Structure 1
Amino acid sequence: MCERNHPMKCFLATLLVAICGLFLHPATAAEDPAALLRAADRWRVSDDSLQVETRVQVLGRDGAVEKERLYTVFVQSGHRSLVLMRSPAEAGQRVLMLGDDFWLLMPGSQRPLRITPLQKLLGDASTGDIATLSWAEDYAGTLVGEESCEGQPCWHLQLRATRAGVSYQRIELWLGKARREPLRAELYVQSDKLAKQARFVLDRPEAPTTVAEMVLRDELGTHKETRVRYLSRTPKRVPEAWMNPMFLARNPPLE
């Protein structure tokens, strides 16, 4: 306790405690987890409503491409997405996400099938991996601290799901400290088992502007690598009817 007869000593002691607090807890004093997540999202989502042309490849242990599929993904505001399968093997199939609900629509069937966000599309890429791109809207983040990863200083955040319709209940995420770009992530399912490792590849190493590819490595079974490549992103708002599973079931594949 400061003595009444020494107000200057009291002031200096209080100032010293405050300064030490800044050095002991620099991350929490300077960085807001929600703001970090919004900044990280901008590397993957450039608009509220987007058309994202996506290529998914499964690689064998020798690094050769075993399978490849093409998808057109319409990411819309309000937790809504529509995935159109473009490859011949899946022609006419569509996946619709409305909030926490996912439907698979098969050609020739007028009955939408309820699925989960963990439903596999190809390799280790699930419907949730393709249809959802926002961490800030789906997770609450906690800043663990500053670490070194990928040869550079970064922020380590722990993300907890805030709604049911996400693929992973917990994500450990590392962002570059200077640009807030996503570098890598550990993806945990409901049982808190590590399901996948994710690595994010930027478009231009010297002057990056966006995440060009997400590389997934399975940690539960095959340990193979799946690459999700974002070929293009274009602002696109689709007709509201496209967000209705019964409309999609009654109509041919959309263009």
Structure 2
Amino acid sequence: MFKQLILAAMLAAAGHAGATDVQAILKKADAFRLPDASAQLDTLVQTFRNGQPDKEKRYQVLVRPGGKSLVLSRSPGEAGQKVLMSGDDFWLLVPGSARPMRITPMQKLLGEASTGDIANMTWAGDYAGSVVRELEMDGVPCLELDLAAQRKSLSYQRIVLHVARSDYRPVHADLFAASDRKIKQARFSVETRNGRASVTRMTLIDEIQTSRETQVHVQGNKPRQFGDELFNPMYLSRNDVAP
């Protein structure tokens, strides 16, 4: 009985967590996805149909503070293709085109992996909400956060995020469109690399075509500084970016 009362008190406290508390949780969850403020991530995206490998593509993702990301295609047949995210703006740049083309964060790169999934790896500041309850997800004691997007331009207008109660690492998320229809599930795998716990795989499950699955593997993550020109769409339309 005493244990039940303690649990009830914890849930009540979690349910009334203020915005500051949720933002602190989200910042810690973000750190597992992007440990360094300015970094290069080498990413492999694979699709599966009925559990069998289907297609794959490789990307190099350059991330810097201020909501800026540059996604460089490193797959044969897509050399020179780039996707730039600067705040709420997304551009696609293809070789031979004189002008960058504006796209949406939901534009697909491969399978269920969209430009927003690859380029925008943070939740803090973009979402606000509350801690709803405690539960077990994939065998991990978790907190459930119900998050609402702070801008209409974000890929998902609502996220139900499950983070581990022990360290706030992301475990699972339900991703919703503006209509509040659940369109994807995401599962996060965390491993220790170079003495640091990081998300090394995000598995995206299509809620409409349930036979399809997309895995986003972060194969390498290293701190790196970038010049301002790499996040200028007009510069990128005229220049390639070396690995």
The answer to whether the superposition gives a TM-score over 0.5 is yes
For 1:23 and 1:87, locate their aligned partners in 2 and report how far apart those are by CA, in whole Å: 49
For structure 1, the 5+ residue unaligned runs are 1-18
Greater Cα radius of gyration, structure 1 or 2: 1
TM-superposition CA deviations, 1:93-148 (whole Å, max 9, x none): 00001111100000011110110000000000000000001111211131111112
Which position in structure 2 is the counterpart of 1:212?
200
Which position in structure 1 is the counterpart of 2:3?
none
Which position in structure 1 is the counterpart of 2:33?
44
Which position in structure 1 is the counterpart of 2:130?
142
Q: Secondary structure at the match of 1:38?
A: helix
Change (3 A) 1:96 1:21: same
* Residues 187-202 of structure 1 aligned to structure 2 (within 5 Å): 187-202=175-190
For 2:11 and 2:36, locate their aligned partners in 1 and report how far apart those are by CA, in whole Å: 38
Instruction: Considering fraction of residues, name the structure with more strand.
Output: 2
For 1:98 and 1:87, locate their aligned partners in 2 and report how far apart those are by CA, in whole Å: 23
Change (3 A) 1:20 1:118: closer
Change (3 A) 1:29 1:118: closer
The question of 1:58 aligning with 2:47 is answered yes
Please report how far the alpha carbon of residue 64 of structure 1 lies from its aligned counterpart in structure 2 after TM superposition.
Answer: 2.2
- Cα contact 2:16–2:130 (8 A) shared by 1: no
Please report how far the alpha carbon of residue 149 of structure 1 lies from its aligned counterpart in structure 2 after TM superposition.
Answer: 1.5
Change (3 A) 1:69 1:21: closer
Aligned equivalent of 2:14, options 20, 27, 35: 27
Determine what percentage of the aligned residue pairs are the same residue.
48
Aligned equivalent of 1:87, options 75, 86, 98: 75
For 2:105 and 2:17, locate their aligned partners in 1 and report how far apart those are by CA, in whole Å: 35
Which position in structure 2 is the counterpart of 1:164?
152
- Cα contact 1:37–1:141 (8 A) shared by 2: no
Please report how far the alpha carbon of residue 182 of structure 1 lies from its aligned counterpart in structure 2 after TM superposition.
Answer: 0.7
RMSD: 2.1
- Cα contact 2:83–2:92 (8 A) shared by 1: yes
For 1:201 and 1:152, locate their aligned partners in 2 and report how far apart those are by CA, in whole Å: 12
User: Normalising by structure 1, what TM-score?
Assistant: 0.86
Change (3 A) 1:133 1:23: closer
For 2:219 and 2:85, locate their aligned partners in 1 and report how far apart those are by CA, in whole Å: 21
Change (3 A) 1:74 1:21: same
Which position in structure 2 is the counterpart of 1:239?
227
* Residues 212-231 of structure 1 aligned to structure 2 (within 5 Å): 212-221=200-209, 223-231=211-219
The one-letter code sitting in structure 1 at the alignment partner of 2:135 is: E
For 2:173 and 2:211, locate their aligned partners in 1 and report how far apart those are by CA, in whole Å: 16
Please report how far the alpha carbon of residue 173 of structure 1 lies from its aligned counterpart in structure 2 after TM superposition.
Answer: 0.4
- Out of 64-73 and 136-145, give the one that drifted further: 136-145
For structure 2, the 5+ residue unaligned runs are 1-5
The list of structure 1 runs, each at least 4 consecutive aligned residues, that deviate by more than 6 angstroms after superposition, is none
